[in-house]
Structure 1
């Protein structure tokens, strides 16, 4: 099945510091491509894979689950680690959840974590009934395109309930693994996110074991903040975070700021 225009995976061979970017649920690399390009311009080695079942048509996603999505970013991380002296992981939405699990499972092989509007659970009154509903209804309306400034996010306009059911299991798994996350963490969340509530970020911050934590509130953006008004702030905050860690500048405690 052909990949949607703009949804192609991205790779840039740069310097000794690598950054793995993980896109979100039903989305595609297009939502993170400007971020990837910003990092590439500063000579980072950048990997932005396309998750299985994504970037083509929603019917392809029915055949995949969280194990497939995680396996792809795990493979990409191992590839970067073979190439680079240090590797950072980052993600948007469920891509942030994937990045957090990579940090939990890979330990010192991950130098730091950057997450934008990370997800911690499947929301909605019917979430608890997905195990049954997925056999009765194939899809529900999509969650892509939550961008305050307008514009297009390349992704699906339908969410396969089979995939949503798998995602619910993944969220529970990662929630239990969050205490294993000890790396420096930069969490950026939108003040007007219509997909992932602020409670998800609060839950993640309360569960991780990281002592070097920065929370940034993006006042002008919705869920897909990497394509929104605060995109440049995300890019610069993540650059500052990575530069500080790779140069060894210290930081103690938790710093919550807007």
Structure 2
């Protein structure tokens, strides 16, 4: 896979507002899949024109070769996210956590353990479409890898930077992360927006339902009718970017993270 660190490595966008934003990429992918999202959020401004600080870390085992990912325990991803959270918290009064796919699970896991001001999720991974994935801890002993899961994108001209093989040992670790995160959802009290693709070939639609049913804070579901799993690179990316920017801007101005009123056509609770 490509290793251009400027395009696929960590991204840090400085800002002087009260809000810091942590943006997390997905499983087997790189920061390239969420950098446009992060840059859009960075354009949010408070009343003085100050922008949020935005951090997009490259998670352990990603951006190199699949063998590196196979060697990582799920706690390594959690700890890397914690490090970035505390770095942002040292400079900003509020922190918003965002994530795509596995990054969404990590964002929720963080929100359950830390004081976050808001959560933005794109097709968070709490349950996978491939039911055989639950047996990955056993299958990995005989079958080290399967075909890669990257580039589940409806746009014909979009390509996700991701491993061309999926290590089953890492899938087993993802299962552990998802299982623990689902159990921790009641501890998530921050307002949450879930962007959910109508058609997703990687993550089950039940993931968004789990967030809506089990978390304790207000949850808004935003439908993405024209995108597959990696919606940050797909037709509905402008919806994700615009809604996320507006939420962070409201928070920066001292307003509610979620829009006022009973909702939108997308649904809320």
TM-score by length of 2: 0.89
Whole-angstrom CA distance in 2 between matches of 1:215 and 1:126 = 28
Structure 1 pair 193/128, CA: closer, same or farther in 2 (3 Å)? closer
- The answer to whether 1:7 aligns with 2:8 is yes
- Counterpart secondary structure, 1:169: helix
1:166 pairs, out of 152, 168, 173, with: 173
Structure 1 pair 239/41, CA: closer, same or farther in 2 (3 Å)? closer
Within 5 Å, give how 1:16-95 maps onto structure 2.
16=17, 17-42=19-44, 43-95=51-103
User: Is the Cα–Cα contact under 8 Å of residues 141 and 158 in structure 1 kept in the other structure?
Assistant: yes
CA displacement, residues 185-208 of structure 1 (integer Å, 9 cap, x when unaligned): 111111121111211111121110
User: Is the Cα–Cα contact under 8 Å of residues 220 and 230 in structure 1 kept in the other structure?
Assistant: yes
Structure 1 pair 198/256, CA: closer, same or farther in 2 (3 Å)? farther
Structure 1 pair 44/239, CA: closer, same or farther in 2 (3 Å)? same
In structure 2, the residue matched to 1:134 is 140
Structure 2 alignment gaps of length 5 or more: 45-50
In structure 2, the residue matched to 1:99 is 107
Q: Tell me by how many angstroms 1:15 deviates.
A: 1.7
Structure 1 pair 252/213, CA: closer, same or farther in 2 (3 Å)? farther
Q: Tell me by how many angstroms 1:152 deviates.
A: 1.1
Whole-angstrom CA distance in 1 between matches of 2:28 and 2:182 = 21
CA displacement, residues 35-78 of structure 1 (integer Å, 9 cap, x when unaligned): 11222334221100000000111111111121111111110000
Structure 1 alignment gaps of length 5 or more: none
Q: Tell me by how many angstroms 1:256 deviates.
A: 6.0
Within 5 Å, give how 1:216-227 maps onto structure 2.
216-227=222-233
- Counterpart secondary structure, 1:182: coil
- The answer to whether 1:120 aligns with 2:126 is yes
TM-score by length of 1: 0.93
In structure 1, the residue matched to 2:185 is 178
User: Is the Cα–Cα contact under 8 Å of residues 213 and 254 in structure 1 kept in the other structure?
Assistant: no
Q: Tell me by how many angstroms 1:4 deviates.
A: 4.6
User: Is the Cα–Cα contact under 8 Å of residues 213 and 255 in structure 1 kept in the other structure?
Assistant: no
In structure 2, the residue matched to 1:149 is 155
